[in-house]
Structure 1
Amino acid sequence: MQEIKLKKMALILSGAVLNRYSRFKDYPHTLQYSYITMKSVDDNRIYPEFFETHHATREVDGKYLLRKGDVVMKLAPPYSAAFVDFDCENLIVPSNFAIIRTEEQLDPEYLSFILNAPHVRRQLRRLVEGSTLAVIKINHLNNVKLRIRDKNEQILYAKLLSLLKQRRELKMRVIELEDKITDSLLREL
């Protein structure tokens, strides 16, 4: 396992400034896009139900559109990252997010788990310490040091962490259902 700066293994882009694509309010021809919101990204999960619609007066540059295999990361606390594991069309990443496109030697799902790890979050907090706005700059992300394993180990760890996350979510769902059953039974008494 080696420690490498993120910029050596991935291309990191900031999201689009949405206002630049919708300057003319009375423009008759608009293109419809969806965009991710702060609510829609949380600890390696993307919630499509929180996407919002944006009407653009011109076509959005392709580098700002999310693709399957990308990692998207909030640039404001809590700095959550998520792996895009679904096909997305016309999904804009706004400027309060970073788009991370990995190179061949780095598994994007593994990267998203690592970016959510406590040691990386501590690094990020240290990088923005002292500033009034605790927003990460792309340059800060470029300099984040990550512990990287070989590609096969990355894939195995990503699968294991994904399964553990699914298991935890299922257990939480069981607890919710048991609470509903308990409430229902208690109301009948």
Structure 2
Amino acid sequence: MERLIELSNVCDISAGLVLRRKEAQTKNEIAKVYKVITLKSFEDDGWINLEYLDDYNSIELLDDRYITKENDILIRLSNPYTAIQVKAEQAGFVIPSLFAIVRLNQKEIDSGYLSFMLNSDTIKQSYFKNAMGITIPVIRMQTIRETQIPLVSTSEQHTISKISDLMIKEKRLHQQLTLEKELYNKELTKRIIKGGNKNAK
């Protein structure tokens, strides 16, 4: 029989920082400028887009619990409830209260595997059903703590984690290709309008 584990038994789970509590209002109040994760930087395909981070002026050095660490898992608390595994190059950013922070405290769980499972349709649907709020349904922290995932062997977890990474890379490449194609088409359209079909290249 497949063994299920509850997140609260293998992870430390908390909410991100309420930004206004530590935000400097004047230049003289600034103790440190951080990069902060935003909803726009949180790609639905499962990666953090570093181009859309914002600057955050803090009145003090922030507690480490609000700063991303490699292998953290961040869960967007509003729809579509995407989970993202933090990579090494994404460490050191401020995590706002728009996201839940999931930090593993057991070696038997691979963070890539866990983020893959948290992005499954089954878990996302359960989050949607249990979300609170009418305008913007938000997941309760307790719902995340009570989330259960199947525990497979370590080798299987590593394999699934690698497959998940490849899937995300493929989606990123496809997104990049789409953007480049759009830019090409815009430039082509400009040339056609400006110089006619003969001058279009």
TM-score when normalising by structure 2: 0.81
**Structure 1 residue 122, shift from structure 2 partner:** 1.0
TM-score when normalising by structure 1: 0.86
User: For structure 2, which runs of at least 5 residues remain unmatched after alignment?
Assistant: none
- Residue 22 of structure 2 aligns with an amino acid whose one-letter code is Y
Give the SS at the match of 1:11.
strand
Alignment map for 1:58-69 (pairs within 5 Å): 58-69=60-71
- Residue 39 of structure 2 aligns with an amino acid whose one-letter code is M
1:107 aligns to what?
A: 110
Alignment map for 1:76-91 (pairs within 5 Å): 76-88=78-90, 90-91=92-93
- Please tell me whether the aligned partners of residues 115 and 121 of structure 1 are also in contact (alpha carbons under 8 angstroms): yes
The CA deviation string for residues 41-95 of structure 1, in whole angstroms up to 9 with x for no partner, is: 1232111111101111111111110011111111111111111112345411001
C-alpha separation in 2, matches of 1:172 and 1:18: 30
1:72 maps onto 2:61 in alignment = no
2:36 aligns to what?
A: 35
- Please tell me whether the aligned partners of residues 31 and 58 of structure 2 are also in contact (alpha carbons under 8 angstroms): yes
2:139 aligns to what?
A: 136
Q: CA separation of 1:49/1:170 partners in 2, compared to 1, >3 Å: closer, same or farther?
A: closer
- Please tell me whether the aligned partners of residues 112 and 164 of structure 2 are also in contact (alpha carbons under 8 angstroms): no
- Please tell me whether the aligned partners of residues 70 and 91 of structure 2 are also in contact (alpha carbons under 8 angstroms): no
2:167 aligns to what?
A: 164
Q: CA separation of 1:87/1:162 partners in 2, compared to 1, >3 Å: closer, same or farther?
A: closer
2:96 aligns to what?
A: 94
- Residue 4 of structure 2 aligns with an amino acid whose one-letter code is E
C-alpha separation in 1, matches of 2:32 and 2:179: 41
Larger Rg: 2
1:8 aligns to what?
A: 9
C-alpha separation in 2, matches of 1:108 and 1:13: 16
- Residue 159 of structure 1 aligns with an amino acid whose one-letter code is K
C-alpha separation in 2, matches of 1:54 and 1:168: 29
C-alpha separation in 2, matches of 1:117 and 1:154: 15
Q: CA separation of 1:11/1:158 partners in 2, compared to 1, >3 Å: closer, same or farther?
A: same
User: For structure 1, which runs of at least 5 residues remain unmatched after alignment?
Assistant: none
Q: CA separation of 1:58/1:115 partners in 2, compared to 1, >3 Å: closer, same or farther?
A: same
Paired residues, number: 188
